[in-house]
Amino acid sequence: MTDDIFLDGPYRQLASDETLALMNTLHHLAFDVLLYVIALHIGAVIFYSVYKKQKLVPAMVHGKKMSKTAGIADSRLLRAMIVALISATVVYVAIEVYPPTPQVDEYYY
């Protein structure tokens, strides 16, 4: 018996046991890789602060870094917003409009 929210999602019954095992392995592997990438990022910030004498942390906070070279001319914000809107629409349609029919094996009371 599960709570159907934290352990099983609405599409769980559509996947085979082998696929679920593979996704579980990838999930844990991705978490470990994320930890290593975070450690590498913090190490790079320390390297740039100590050896190259560049202040990256304040630039990450307020978004402005003093530089002698020209910055980015175009940020493509409109394209990013369109992609985000399309992605949100696809997720909404997949979850709210066309969800799979749940398999009710037992009732929780």
pLDDT digit string, tens, across residues 62-76:
877 777 777 777 788
4-14 as b/e: b if 16+ CB within 10 A: eeeeeeeeeee
The total domain count for the chain is: 1
Q: What is the pTM of this model?
A: 0.53
d(CA 109, CA 100): 23
State yes or no: pLDDT of 53 exceeds 90.
no
Tokens of 44: 């790079």
In a domain, 108, yes or no: no
Instruction: List the one residue out of 106, 93, 109, 102 whose CA is nearest residue 12.
Output: 102
Determine, yes or no, domain membership for 6. no
Residue 29 placed within a domain = yes
Say how far apart CA 53 and CA 28 lie, in whole Å. Answer: 36
What's the pLDDT at 81? Answer: 95
For residue 47, is it within any domain? yes
For residue 37, is it within any domain?
yes
In a domain, 20, yes or no: yes
Residues 65, 55, 51, 33: is their CA dihedral positive or negative? negative
Residue span of the structural domain in which 17 resides: 12-97
pLDDT over 70 (residue 89): yes
In a domain, 68, yes or no: yes
Contact (CB, 8 A) for 10 and 98: no
What is residue 19's predicted lDDT score, i.e. its pLDDT? 87
Find, among 6, 13, 19, 43, the residue nearest to 104 by Cα.
13
Q: Considering the domain boundaries, does residue 25 fall inside one? A: yes
